[in-house]
């Protein structure tokens, strides 16, 4: 079910119920789906359920902390619902009541760099120093991707300079030694 709503052309008019173990809201959710479909089919509202025990990446992306969490995606924003858990309250919110709330930006899906940083963290999980550096780098990547690129570029330049200085110094001694042997 998760992949259905995530593969939508855009995250619009989607309300998700997060929490695999929340059985109390399940009948309300099913009734809400029927009500929205019959009373407001032109709105194209999609209801989805996400089980955080199975879809950890999705729950991490949308910063889900407690269960059940209801999130509505509309007008390029993400609105966390904290109102009543009855069908009428939820339907009123989904069919226009959300406009009264200020939404937050929809977090971008993880980039290639985010995935690689995560893989590196898993590799070096046992080493405290490397783990700390990886956490700092991940924080920089999440907050300021351009800063991460600049840090990597500076590291490459410094590494090349050090290599040239030490590599160049050794190379000139060898050239001098081979000249003296020829004479």
11 has pLDDT over 60: no
Pairing verdict, β 77-81 and 69-74: antiparallel
> Would you put residue 96 in left (φ > 0), alpha (ψ -120 to 50) or beta?
left
Average pLDDT over residues 119-140: 78
How confident is the model at residue 107, as a pLDDT?
84
Q: E-assigned strands of 19-101?
A: 46-50, 69-74, 77-81
pTM for the model stands at 0.55
Q: E-assigned strands of the chain?
A: 14-18, 46-50, 69-74, 77-81
32 has pLDDT over 90: no
What span, in angstroms and rounded, lies between the C-alpha atoms of 141 and 23? 37
Q: Say yes or no: domain 2-100 is CATH 3.40.30.10.
A: yes
> Would you put residue 44 in left (φ > 0), alpha (ψ -120 to 50) or beta?
left
Q: Where are the domains of the chain?
A: 2-100, 112-182
1 has pLDDT over 70: no
Q: Residue 13 in 3-state DSSP?
A: coil
């Amino acid at each position: 079910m998760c992949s259905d709503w995530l593969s939508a052309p855009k995250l619009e008019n989607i309300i998700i119920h997060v929490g695999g173990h929340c059985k109390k809201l399940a009948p309300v959710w099913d009734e809400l789906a029927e009500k929205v479909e019959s009373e407001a089919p032109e709105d194209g509202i999609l209801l989805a359920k996400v089980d955080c025990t199975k879809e950890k990446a999705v729950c991490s992306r949308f910063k889900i902390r407690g269960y059940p969490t209801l999130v509505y995606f509309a007008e390029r924003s993400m609105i966390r619902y904290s109102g009543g858990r009855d069908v009428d309250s939820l339907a009123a919110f989904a069919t226009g009541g959300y406009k009264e709330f200020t939404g937050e930006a929809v977090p971008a899906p993880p980039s290639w760099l985010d995935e690689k940083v995560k893989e590196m963290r898993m590799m070096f999980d046992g080493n405290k120093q490397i783990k700390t550096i990886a956490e700092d780098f991940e924080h920089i990547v999440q907050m300021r991707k351009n800063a991460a690129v600049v840090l990597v570029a500076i590291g490459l330049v410094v590494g090349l300079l050090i290599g040239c200085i030490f590599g160049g110094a050794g190379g000139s001694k060898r050239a001098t030694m081979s000249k003296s042997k020829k004479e």
